[in-house]
Amino acid sequence: MRLYFIGICGTAMGNVASLMKSLGHTVAGSDRGIYPPMSDVLAGADIEVHPGWHPENITSFRPDLVVVGNAVTRGNTEVEFLLTSRPCRFTSLPELIDRQLLGQRKRIVVTGTHGKTTTTAIAAWLLKEAGVQPGWLIGGVPGCLSSGTELGHSQSPFVLEGDEYDSAFFDKRSKFIHYWPDVLAINNLEFDHVDIFRDLTDVKRTFQHLIRIVPPLGLILANGDDPVLRELLPVDWAPTCFVGISESSDYVIGDFSEGPAGSSFTLTGPAGFHRKFAWKTTGLYNARNASMALLCAAQSLRKAQRTTFLQNATLQHFQGVRRRQDVLWESDHLKVVEDFAHHPTAIAACIESFRNCYPESEITSVFEPRSNTSATNLLEDKFTHSLSLADSVLIAPVYRAEVYPEEKRIDPFQMAKCISRVGKRARAYASKENLFRDLAGSVNRQPRVILLFTNGSFGQPLQDFLKGL
């Protein structure tokens, strides 16, 4: 089959395109923003990527099926050509995944406002280490796996990162509805994707739809410390298991500690279950991610395998996911870390973790308002508060600011003023070049951790800054 992906450089789109290519299909696609790591993944798979949207890309390729990414809208010239000329069928990415990849396999679907990518990667890696030969679809580039996608053995579980974002411009259901989970993990639930959902109630609605399709022999694993999830769960039709630091959780995370070398914690559960874990990843939130992943993976196995799996599983060699606490530079006095954190809660958790690990270092946060959530002003106060947990804050200009009406756009300069009022150094910039030039000029021999927060790329200004170091 000849498959053409519109919006191919989206993480999930690119990973699935690469997987379909490995299965023997002929694959090409187009996109506007082409940058690493996905551009490297596609190049490695020998997939042709056309910059920009042009109908002749489709006519020359002559696809059997076009896959339309969820970021692609009406008005896109390739979409308008598809609707007008109808040269072939088109579908959404999650529908392609359901029909072409999943079959009758047991499905682990990992969801939540943040932590999905890491949790999915851990679950897939644990199953792989146990020799289960799982399949997986991860919205990132895991350091511990061969790629973000793998078909695995046809009789083994398939682990999917379940996004609540809509499926396509012609299918406004959340992507995860297409995945029909046997084991469902919900890491947390907060207001996000302001371009899709009106408010938290609207987000809860789509998760309620997902919860309704978990079968009676399945399992729902949920964050026991999240009050919103406590409102939605448990339910009558499927068993629920809570995981968290709360003593009311079914599996309790305790004895957590962290430092520059990593973190450790214990996990205690029913029937006398008790395990201690140590690994290189920091953050209490990541301990919860790991616990959820471990239990998801165990539940996907046959009952006879679960006890052995839970007794033998280890996190010690897990290598993380690119752009999740990704160390770009390190010396005896300076550490530069990139993190995908795109939500105020995730930013706050990351800053607090590095504060715990490096109590003697100045923490500098560099933030780019880039996602539809962070570029609008609905969560401006929460972003401001989270960033103010650092000692100093540098705020880049809003990415594609012209897309957002001024009255709805986040105001980096106002954010910097608010942060300064609470005694922290803060500045907003009109260009990323100026921001990184100032940052380079402020680097000295004092202990310092620089945290870079963007869900895209800081691009050449960041690369020039790193080269200067």
**Residue 149 identity:** T
CATH number of 326-468: 3.90.190.20
Per-residue pLDDT, 193: 84
Q: What are the boundaries of each domain within the chain?
A: 2-95, 103-312, 326-468
Per-residue pLDDT, 36: 78
Q: For the segment 175-227, what is each residue's pLDDT rounded down to a tens digit?
A: 999 999 999 999 999 998 888 899 999 999 999 999 999 999 999 999 999 99
CATH architecture of 103-312: 3-Layer(aba) Sandwich (3.40)
Per-residue pLDDT, 146: 83
Q: Closest by alpha carbon to 184, among 140, 241, 268?
A: 241
Per-residue pLDDT, 15: 86
Give me the residues of the chain with pLDDT under 50, please: none
Per-residue pLDDT, 297: 97
Distances (CA, A) of 75 to 79, 84, 136: 7, 12, 33
Sheet holding 149-150, edge to edge: 149-150, 135-137, 158-161, 107-111, 183-186, 219-223, 240-244, 251-259, 262-268, 274-279
Asked if residue 53 lies in contact with residue 30, where contact means CB atoms within 8 angstroms, the answer is yes
Q: Closest by alpha carbon to 320, among 342, 306, 340?
A: 340
Q: Could you give the residue ranges of the DSSP H alpha helices within 174-302? A: 200-212, 227-232, 284-299
Cα(152)–Cα(108) distance, rounded to whole angstroms? Answer: 14
CATH architecture of 2-95: 3-Layer(aba) Sandwich (3.40)
Q: Closest by alpha carbon to 70, among 186, 160, 185, 164?
A: 164
Cα(296)–Cα(159) distance, rounded to whole angstroms? Answer: 9
363 CB contacts (<8 Å, ≥6 apart)? 351, 354, 355, 389, 390, 391, 392, 448, 449, 451
Q: Closest by alpha carbon to 311, among 126, 149, 134?
A: 126
CATH topology identical between 103-312 and 326-468: no
The CB-side HSE value for 352 (13 A sphere, CA atoms) comes to 13
Q: In this structure, what is the dihedral angle of CA atoms 140, 144, 146, 149, given to the nearest 10 degrees?
A: -40
Q: For the segment 302-318, what is each residue's pLDDT rounded down to a tens digit?
A: 999 999 999 999 999 99
DSSP state of 150: E
**Residue 105 identity:** R
Instruction: Tell how strand 240-244 and strand 219-223 pair up.
Output: parallel
Q: Which residues pair with 451 in a beta bridge?
A: 337, 365
Per-residue pLDDT, 40: 87
Q: For the segment 334-370, what is each residue's pLDDT rounded down to a tens digit?
A: 999 999 877 999 999 999 999 999 999 999 999 999 9
Per-residue pLDDT, 7: 96
**Helices 284-299 and 344-357, packing angle to 10 deg:** 110
